[in-house]
Amino acid sequence: MDASNDSLIKNLINDPYFHKWIIDPDNACRDFWAHWADESEERQACMEQARATLLSFKFNTTSVSRTEKDSLWEQIARQIEEPTPIREMGEPSNNSRQLWYGVAAAVILVVMVVFAYNKEWNKPREIAKTELRFIEKVAPEGKISSFKFEDGTTVKLFSGSVIRYPVNFGEDSREVYLKGEGFFDVKKDTNRPFTVITNTLRTTALGTSFNIQTYENENKCDVSLVTGKVRVDMLENSSGRVRSVFLEPGEQAVLKFDDVIKQPFDIQETISWKDGYIYLENKSFDETISILKRWFEVDFVINNREVVENRLKGKTGIGTFKNQSLENILRVIGYSFEFKYEIRDNKTVILTF
**Distance between CA atoms of residues 147 and 212, nearest Å:** 16
- Which residues are CB-contacts of 337 (< 8 A; sequence separation ≥ 6)? 285, 288, 312, 315, 317, 353
162-166 and 134-138 as β-strands: parallel, antiparallel, unpaired? antiparallel
What is the per-residue burial (b if ≥16 Cβ within 10 Å, else e) of 167-198? eebeeeebbbbbbbbbbbbbbebeebbbbbbb
**Distance between CA atoms of residues 25 and 45, nearest Å:** 19
For the segment(s) 134-269, the CATH number from 2.40.30.20, 2.60.120.1440, 3.40.50.1820, 3.40.50.720 is 2.60.120.1440
Residue 168: what pLDDT? 87
The CATH architecture annotation of domain 276-352 reads: 3-Layer(bab) Sandwich (3.55)
Residue 11: what pLDDT? 77
**Distance between CA atoms of residues 204 and 201, nearest Å:** 10
Q: Which of 215, 209, 236, 224 is nearest to 262 (CA)?
A: 224
Same fold, 134-269 and 276-352: no
Residue 21: what pLDDT? 81
Q: Give the helix ranges, DSSP H, for 212-301.
A: 267-271, 285-296
Q: Are 223 and 248 in contact (CB under 8 A)?
A: no
The phi, psi pair for 107, rounded to 5°, reads -60, -45
List C-alpha distances in Å: 307 to 302, 304, 310, 353. Answer: 11, 5, 8, 8
Residue 4: what pLDDT? 67
Euclidean distance between the first and final Cα of the chain, in Å? 67
Q: Which of 19, 4, 39 is nearest to 245 (CA)?
A: 39
Mean pLDDT per 10-residue section of the chain, whose length is 353 residues:
71 77 73 77 84 62 49 48 38 45 49 42 41 83 88 93 90 91 93 91 88 76 93 72 83 85 91 92 89 89 77 82 91 88 88 87
Host H or E run for residue 83: none
Asked whether the whole model's pTM tops 0.85, one would answer no
Domain ranges in the chain? 3-115, 134-269, 276-352
Residue 132: what pLDDT? 65
Q: Are 158 and 140 in contact (CB under 8 A)?
A: no
